[in-house]
Amino acid sequence: MLKVFLVEDEVVVREGIKNSIDWEKNGLFFCGEASDGELAYPMIVKEKPDIVITDIRMPFMDGLELARLVKREMPWVKIILLSGYGEFEYAKEAIDIGITQYLLKPISKQELTKCLITIRDRIIAEQNEHAAFEKYKADLKEYYAEDKRRLFYDMVGGQYSLEDIMDRGKRLNLDLQAGAYNIILYIIRDINQMQDDSKAAGLAKELEELLEKHVNAVIFDCLLEGNALLLKGEDIGEVSRLQDKIVGQMKQVLSGHKDIFYFGGIGKPVEDISGLAVSFQEAGRVFAYRYILDESRILDYRDIAQAGQLQDDGMDLDNILHLNKKKAEEFLRSGSKKDIHYFVEEYLKCISNDSRSSLLFRQYIIVDMYYIAVAFAQEMGFGRENIAEPFNDKLRLNMLSSFEQIRQYIEEIFGHVIDLRDNISSSKFNDIINRAKTYINDNYTNDKLSLNQVASHVYLCPTYFSAIFSQKTGQTFIQYLTDLRMSKAKELLKCTDMKTAEIAYAVGYKDPHYFSYLFKKTQNCTPKQYRLG
């Protein structure tokens, strides 16, 4: 209900207005009253009404002065000014202030009620228009984020021409032209609550706002995999200076939070966009260390360039039997299949050349990794037979002749175990996504349907649900909902004689202009052109 506040110095008139209007019946709530502007103003600021009814002539502070103060503090408030017949000369000043309605006393119950209903409907229309505009901005932001994400992976994939990448960047208002580039991959998460990461999300937002101030840094949201930061400059020296500055700012924002884990991997600077594949590969290699190291870090590719670099962290041969085993177990629980190669390669770096040449040590490494994989598979309910035994035939015995073959075997069994893990997880998430899709299909006509609402229905926090939905469907939530609504709209355009505005409302859009905009954007033609075609 909309709130109404009354300011009138004549008690009889004030009581008459207060008691004669059926506020609730007309969708209104009488939230307060005062006898003059000076008393009214602090009460109005506290109550924040939608409508203020005020007399002009009052002691201490008149209605016009009160109106000026209210409009300056709360410009959205609608003001009805009551005036005696001889005070009509104030009308011009009232218009200048922005008074919504000017009524002459004495005023009847019917006239005031009619005025209130008119203003009520106007406020509701403005609120709906504002909500539609905010939704429009939110939808555009999600489309924009998805387009940016695809552009990033295409840039580092190296399969698209420079002209194509530049053109797509321009369409996203991204100036990608530079003399040198680098990539930083980073992730921020709550240590204790993997799915409810409100503190981590808050820090990520704070960091994002800070990074956006750098014109030569572009953030790409990689969903569950964290974020990618593209750095650019005139030359490698400028990129390196920007990198140092940004890393310092990242540490300043993220350090000191014991319940937050953050990790960053800095790639190798390159001199053209085609080299971003190399930068991304090096950043990914460093980023894999988030599974190996316990502490929050931001590492440069040069930090791990030499084998044995991790010995400073206590990962030398003396404790490999204990610490490395734990790291391998943790990786199988939370690691990504695409990180297996990097993880295993970096995981084994602390093994010296002498140990690598030892047949006994190579046998130990194979057996230890095998039993780690088997133990995790059994924990998930799978038998030992699901993991390829290392020495069950002559072909696998030959792997002992090369440390590289040992690494390949470990990657093979780790990959298989992670597939088993992800299949279980996928089955669970498939059920969640199917329930979400059913809910969306049943409620797509509701213009207030939102990601938060659907996430709540499947008992996930919105951020996590958004990432899972995108990962499993290949579409963002808003893309899926828009595609569904457009599909239903096309059916109605071809199979009924409903007007465009009626169809917009029928498929969940209160604003027909917004519907027409989205239809043209997604279908490459207007609703009218589609119907005639």
Question: What's the rounded Cα separation, in Å, for the pair 59 and 38?
Answer: 9
- Helical H runs in 98-223? 109-157, 162-171, 198-211
pLDDT of residue 190: 83
* Residue where one domain finishes, among candidates 81, 98, 129: 129
> For 307-344, how does the pLDDT look when each residue is reduced to its tens digit (9 = 90+)?
344 443 433 434 444 446 778 888 888 888 888 888 88
| DSSP state for residue 273 in the 8-state scheme | G
Q: Residue 395 pLDDT > 70, yes or no?
A: no
> For 130-174, how does the pLDDT look when each residue is reduced to its tens digit (9 = 90+)?
777 777 777 777 778 888 888 998 999 887 888 999 999 998 999
Q: What does the block give as tokens for 184?
A: 């930083």
Question: What's the rounded Cα separation, in Å, for the pair 322 and 350?
Answer: 14
**Residue reference for tokens 């790409």:** 220
Question: What's the rounded Cα separation, in Å, for the pair 410 and 131?
Answer: 54
Contact 225, 336 (CB under 8 A): yes
Question: What's the rounded Cα separation, in Å, for the pair 504 and 498?
Answer: 10
Question: What's the rounded Cα separation, in Å, for the pair 489 and 495?
Answer: 10
| Residue 363 domain-assigned (yes or no) | no
102 strand-pairing partners: 81
Provide the 3-class DSSP secondary structure of residue 294: coil
C-beta atoms surrounding 249 within 10 Å: 15
| Residue 275 domain-assigned (yes or no) | no
Question: What's the rounded Cα separation, in Å, for the pair 91 and 300?
Answer: 70
Angle made by CA atoms 506, 507, 508, in degrees to the nearest 5 = 95
Contact 214, 242 (CB under 8 A): yes
Please count the structural domains in the chain: 2
* Residue where one domain finishes, among candidates 77, 106, 129: 129
| Residue 179 domain-assigned (yes or no) | no
Contact 139, 116 (CB under 8 A): no
Cis-peptide into 49, omega within 30 deg: no
Q: Which amino acid is at 173?
A: N
Least confident of 24-28, 298-302, 364-368: 364-368
53 strand-pairing partners: 6, 80
The boundaries of the domain holding residue 9 are 2-129
| Residue 355 domain-assigned (yes or no) | no
Sequence-distant (6+) residues with CB within 8 A of 96 are none
Provide the 3-class DSSP secondary structure of residue 84: coil
On average, the pLDDT of the chain sits at: 84
| DSSP state for residue 309 in the 8-state scheme | G
Nearest C-alpha neighbor of 297 from the set 328, 336, 329, 255: 255
Least confident of 294-308, 367-381, 400-414: 294-308
> For 467-516, how does the pLDDT look when each residue is reduced to its tens digit (9 = 90+)?
788 878 888 888 899 999 999 999 999 999 999 999 999 999 988 888 88
The predicted model gives 448-462 an average pLDDT of 86
The predicted model gives 105-113 an average pLDDT of 89
Share above pLDDT 70 across residues of the chain, in percent, rounded to a whole number: 89
> Which range has highest mean pLDDT (215-219, 349-353, 361-365)?
215-219
**Residue reference for tokens 């194979």:** 366
pLDDT-derived band at 231, boundaries 50, 70, 90: very high
| Residue 333 domain-assigned (yes or no) | no
Flag whether the pTM goes above 0.75: no
Contact 504, 511 (CB under 8 A): yes
Sequence-distant (6+) residues with CB within 8 A of 294 are none
The predicted model gives 424-440 an average pLDDT of 84
**What CATH code is carried by the domain that includes residue 64?**
3.40.50.2300
| Residue 51 domain-assigned (yes or no) | yes
* Residue where one domain finishes, among candidates 64, 98, 129: 129
Question: What's the rounded Cα separation, in Å, for the pair 491 and 442?
Answer: 17
How far out from the chain centre does Cα 513 lie? Answer: 26
| Beta-sheet strands, E only, within 17-127 | 28-34, 51-55, 78-83, 101-104
**What CATH code is carried by the domain that includes residue 462?**
1.10.10.60
| Residue 469 domain-assigned (yes or no) | yes
| Residue 521 domain-assigned (yes or no) | yes
Question: What's the rounded Cα separation, in Å, for the pair 277 and 462?
Answer: 32
